[in-house]
Structure 1
Amino acid sequence: MSAVSSKLAERFNKIREQVDVAEMYAADGAPMSAMQNLVDAIATIHGIIEPSPDQNRQPMPLERLVETVEGALHRRKSEEIAAVPWVAEAIGLHEPAIRALGEVAALAEQQYRAALVEWIGRDWTCLCVVSCAEDPATACSLSGRRHVHPAIPGQPGVYGPCPVHLDAPGDL
């Protein structure tokens, strides 16, 4: 018997065992355990029909790989999933994309932290509006240029220069 046919025979034996165990669980009144063993048998059958990707084939799309691993996490521990050879191989094929996503995430985190630091350090005594161009209903003739709309106390609807941002003209 060749090595390939013995591996295939091992897989068929594994499927038979998984189905037998599922039948025992069902007979003992444990439908969830029975179902889990049937799902495992289906996964083994699927592995025979669609073998793991190799270097000459297109890798499984990253989205599908992530969905597959997330789905497996409902039944298995991370260590068990990582022990499956095709999972490690599929992740390895996507390693450059995964590394790039990690770099993008790290950059986004740095930018987020910088924005937080800027927000914390902002002078909150000034409540003027920097630009009104975002709201067409309140846009003025200065829209598009840096300007402010600080209200003049006691004169509703009248705006003057900002006492904090001296470089920005008021909407007078």
Structure 2
Amino acid sequence: MEEKVFSNGGVSFLVLDTIGHSISQKYHNRVVQHEAGHFLIAYLLGILPRGYTLTSLEALKKEGSLNVQAGTAFVDFEFLEEVSKGKVSATTLNRFTCIALAGVATEYLIFGYAEGGLADINTLDRLLKSLGFTQKKADSQLRWAVLNTILILRRHEKTRVMLADAMSAGRSVGACIDIIENTIGDADL
């Protein structure tokens, strides 16, 4: 998901993120895996990724803003239309929830815990509140989404690994989609 830095943290985050990617392969790998999780789950759920960035510096170059971190952006006009009308279908909400949690779920599966994803969770929390979800209903939605997202990620681990490698190498969205299409057989869908 697109993660934004709020307030005046843009410059300091850019510096810290750039240093993190430069000196820590673990940090870089965590970000790559997180974004590959978003990308893969979105594509498998029928939402077309339109782009991704893995560093704040890359996001600055592409977006021209200091307030953008690593992230994956999607083409989902149906979701935006439903949100603007204030009425989101269960199918759309289920997709969005799984996609929002995919980065955190990916980190958890690989590393045993998640460091990133706070912005994803905050965005999801704001959406559920705006839709009038009680805490109990929101918790149920999140449990359902986490379980389903982890199931999908485990089923397609080989694909996620290959996708993460391609994203780390800076491959295009089209090339990343080709990897997904070529590694997931018809029986897997």
Task: Answer yes or no: same fold by TM over 0.5.
Answer: no
Instruction: Answer 1 or 2: which has greater helix percent.
Output: 2
TM-score normalised per structure 1: 0.32
TM-score normalised per structure 2: 0.29
State the structure with more CA Rg. Answer: 1
